[in-house]
Homo-oligomer: A and B are copies of this chain.
Amino acid sequence: MLHRDSPIGIFDSGIGGLTVMRRIKERLPNERLVYFGDTARVPYGTKSPLAIRKYAAEDTALLLRYNPKLIVIACGTVSAVALDVVKETAKDIPVLGVIAACVATALEKTKTKKIGVIGTLATIASEAYPREIYAREHGATVFSKACPLFVPLAEEGFLNHEATRLIAHEYLADFKTEAIDTLILGCTHYPVLRPAIEFIMGNKVQIIDSGEAMALEVELVLASRDLLNLSKTTALHQLMVSDVPQKFKTVAELFLGIELPDVELVAT
């Protein structure tokens, strides 16, 4: 049985998913959130589907110990290549990946139906986004591009640096040529690079931030199952990671946008 006062479990390959946690927290302040970031094995996006699927099952199993009423995959890569693994491991607990939420928002906003998607190597190679978009909208045209340097640039805090703009220009130039009107940020690290991405894409292209899209989806799913918490819990949010590396606090606060709660080190 799922309970209203159970927490929402959120996981990511690392701390990029804190951008999703932040949006859920803003939208649903009554909810208690339990976040796990697999910082010992981060990044996932440069690795193989085989490795990602193994890690995703382990991450889900870890969250299940906290009896969540919903599991949120705050990782574009896991959502793209291991959604089925997470659902299988989570059994009766509902699971939300970022792809459906981002695609729903993108299809609402696009006028020309020319949609760009950026993500990790693994996400783009999986073709999960074009598959989801074409299934919902035959008339769409999807352009995809892997942007492997965006994750390290975000983690190193090179947010609106000239080097970041140069790299963004190189990655995004084709989207300009193809005249997309909507760009999905298919990796939860990317929202902190939004100013650099917008600098290249201009202000006519709608940017779809997976955190915002997910927070809306979380609310809809919980409401439909009558699982929204009606009063604010006094219990604190929990933040667990598999490693606490150099500069962890600084980088994590960059993604979360507020001061971190206590961080617990756990083994996967």
Interface residues of A (CB under 8 A from B): 39-42, 46-48, 50-51, 121-122, 125, 148-149, 151-153, 155-156, 158, 161-164, 166-167, 170, 242-247
Question: Which B residues touch A121, using CB under 8 A?
Answer: 245-247
Give me 6 A-to-B residue pairs in the complex whose CB atoms sit less than 8 angstroms apart, sorted by A's number: A121-B247, A122-B245, A122-B246, A149-B153, A149-B158, A163-B167
The 9 closest A-B pairs by CB, nearest first: A152-B152, A163-B166, A121-B246, A163-B163, A51-B243, A47-B245, A48-B245, A163-B167, A40-B51
B163 & A48 in contact (Cβ 8 Å cutoff) = no
Taken together as a complex, chains A and B put the C-alpha atoms of A50 and B148 apart, in Å, by 27
Most B-side CB within 10 Å, residue of A122, A151, A167, A247: A167
Which residue of chain B has its CB nearest to the CB of A169? B163
A47 & B39 in contact (Cβ 8 Å cutoff) = yes
Most B-side CB within 10 Å, residue of A42, A50, A163: A163
Question: Which B residues touch A47, using CB under 8 A?
Answer: 39-40, 243, 245
Taken together as a complex, chains A and B put the C-alpha atoms of A149 and B151 apart, in Å, by 10
Q: What is the minimal beta-carbon distance from A227 to any residue of chain B, in angstroms? A: 36
A246 interface neighbour in B125, B153, B247, Cβ under 8 Å? B125
